[in-house]
Amino acid sequence: MQDILLAIVLLPLAAAIIVGLGGQFIGRNWAHRLTIAAVGVSCALSINTALGYVIGDSEPLNLTLYTWAQIGSLNLQVGFLIDSLTATMMAVVTFVSLMVHVYTIGYMKEDPGYQRFFSYISLFTFAMLVLVMANNFLQLFFGWEAVGLVSYLLIGFWYKKPTAIFANLKAFLVNRVGDFGFLLGIAGVYMIFGTLDYAPVFEQIKQGFTDVQIPITDETFWSGITFVCIGLFIGAMGKSAQVPLHVWLPDSMEGPTPISALIHAATMVTAGVFMVARMSPIFELSEVALNVILVIGATTALFMGFLGVVQNDIKRVVAYSTLSQLGYMVVALGASAYSVAIFHLATHAFFKALLFLGAGSVIIAMHHEQDIRKMGNLRKYMPITYTTCLIGSLALIGTPFFSGFYSKEAIILAAQNSQLAAADYAYYAVLIGVFFTALYSFRMFFLVFHTKERMDEHCKSHLKESPAVVWIPLVLLAIPSLMISWWIAAPIMSGEFFGTAISVAENHDVIAPMVEEYQKPFALGLHAFFTLPFWFAVFGVLTAYIFTVVKPAWREMLSQKLGVVNKVLTNHYYFDKVYIDYISAGGVGLGTRFWKWIDAGLIDGWLVNGSAKTVAAISGQVRKIQSGYLYHYVLVMVVGLLAFLAWIYWRALAG
């Protein structure tokens, strides 16, 4: 088993190194052959590992490979924790990565950085596997930072493009804010539990954990476990792009489309969701933290959905959709429905990767035009892309019998069943969010694939379906987007699949009332036609149809009527303005003043240069008495002797 696990992790790394260092020698064809073969084998082994837990043949495995440092009682180790939760993430990450690798052959075929791109995406896959397979916080943090680094390289892949450089720097800096909180949370874990290994931490909680009180003042104390949970969740907010640390994700669309699917559908942005689910025993000890998670997730789900309605860039519509759906997952975490969050993570990975790659297929056909207002009626020219994008869109809005329906419905019900203080707010936010998800999804779908053709004649004359290397991954992703939930919904919701990998306190169990319904997926799909979320989705699709197909002039009229609201939305709630014009500019201004006043003025001006000037001034005056004449020196000696005798006489009188 150890050899299999090492192969899963190290094959993508080996391919990334060979292609990255020897790409110019092995050529373009061998670059994609090696990386696809490596990720393909990793994917096959990961799916086989996951099937072992589906069937029930496999037991959780906590394996320490080696200890690379020991500091007192702290062991710094490299190891794997393989259970149903890890196996699910391994299968999802490697499958989506494999589809992206294949898709990249067609999308990047004319790019001069072809080999470099394949090296980066294989390295990214390695980093994600290290993260999800870790059995300790240190290795988790290594994978956490590694995916951040590679995402920086991928977002800024076109490094001669100023907007791409700005986007990757923005992603890097925003994630540093989240990672600072993450480090504090990890430090808190060591302070409270005395170890960084998962198993001893979870065992201490299981045996009866006594919270540590952190003194803030003589009369004020903070819960140590709440401090840890909030710190860890701040890290998740950065990686999973939750308000207010969400601003990096829309700008990251400046990178090539394949990395939009790889980073933003199933891998890096879901790392925070996975981490909180993995740490469920810790989070279950703090209702304060769970309420914070509910509020942040609900706010992201609803308000990022609003922004999706006003976007005109096809990739940014899907990006804001990702933000909103991540909010749904975080709501499930806050409601203690960790298995539901992972359920939606898995289904979302397939249909969101499908939508990103579908957007890329459209961009290829449109000669890299991304404005949906300059498209129209593409279903005539791209039937495969049209059909697969329709499946992805229906899954996204939670259409009954599609995979997204089961996981999204479970989140809404979990929020409704929760007894936490913030649960009502979360429930109404995710319920209203259903309408806006349908609205922005089908506004984009209708503008791209229906309505009149708005492209120029030159573009129209070259329109055709993307090559097979592009549409085959779309078809392979469309299949699980449609039907994966038919098989996985029941075991996930019953708790049979995740078992001890996820821990939920008895008073937080919101899934129990839903278990029986999810044993009959077909009946649950039929029942959906009589529920509020279904009709909210229908109303959203109808609204999109009216404003884009039937009466497009109404859209402009409504924008003018809602001038202030439209301005706020098109400026993304002014988060960027506040961060760039005030916080960043204020930090730079404050730093400049400190440099001028303290570094240049006090240290250089007074202490360093000032002391030198003082010595020089005194030396200049002393130099004047060095005349070279003997009688001058005798005079100085006589004056000095008289002064000394006067001082002795004065001391004698005083005594």
- Render pLDDT for 184-240 as a digit per residue (tens, 0 to 9): 999 999 989 988 999 999 999 988 877 788 877 777 888 889 999 999 999 999 998
Please name the residue that has the structure tokens 């874990």.
189
- Render pLDDT for 383-433 as a digit per residue (tens, 0 to 9): 999 999 999 999 999 999 999 999 999 999 999 999 999 999 999 999 999
Of residues 327 and 262, the one with the higher pLDDT is 327
Helices and strands of the chain, counted as H and E runs: 28, 4
Least confident of 52-56, 273-277, 336-340, 566-570: 52-56
Confidence band of 556 (pLDDT split at 50, 70, 90): confident
Per-residue buried b or exposed e for 126-153, using 16+ beta carbons within 10 Å of the residue's own CB: bbbbbbbbbbbbbbbbbbbbbbbebbbb
User: Rounded mean pLDDT of 31-44?
Assistant: 94
- Average pLDDT over the chain reads 88
pLDDT of 411 = 94
- Render pLDDT for 497-523 as a digit per residue (tens, 0 to 9): 888 889 888 889 898 888 888 888 888
- Render pLDDT for 46-61 as a digit per residue (tens, 0 to 9): 999 998 888 877 888 9
Rounded to whole angstroms, how far apart are CA atoms 457 and 242? 42
- Render pLDDT for 68-114 as a digit per residue (tens, 0 to 9): 888 877 778 889 999 999 999 999 999 989 988 998 888 888 888 88
Are the beta carbons of 276 and 233 closer than 8 angstroms?
Answer: yes
Question: So where are the chain's domains?
Answer: 1-550, 600-654
Rounded to whole angstroms, how far apart are CA atoms 120 and 13? 10
Write the DSSP symbol of residue 378. Answer: G
pLDDT of 265 = 62
User: Per the structure block, which two tokens stand in for 651?
Assistant: 């001391």
**Burial class of 608 by CB neighbour count within 10 A (0 to 12, 13 to 18, 19+):** exposed
User: Per the structure block, which two tokens stand in for 364?
Assistant: 């290829």
pTM: 0.88
Please name the residue that has the structure tokens 């006090």.
602
**Can you tell me whether residue 61 is helix, strand or coil?**
strand
pLDDT above 70 covers a percentage of the chain that reads: 99
Confidence band of 628 (pLDDT split at 50, 70, 90): confident
pLDDT above 90 covers a percentage of the chain that reads: 43
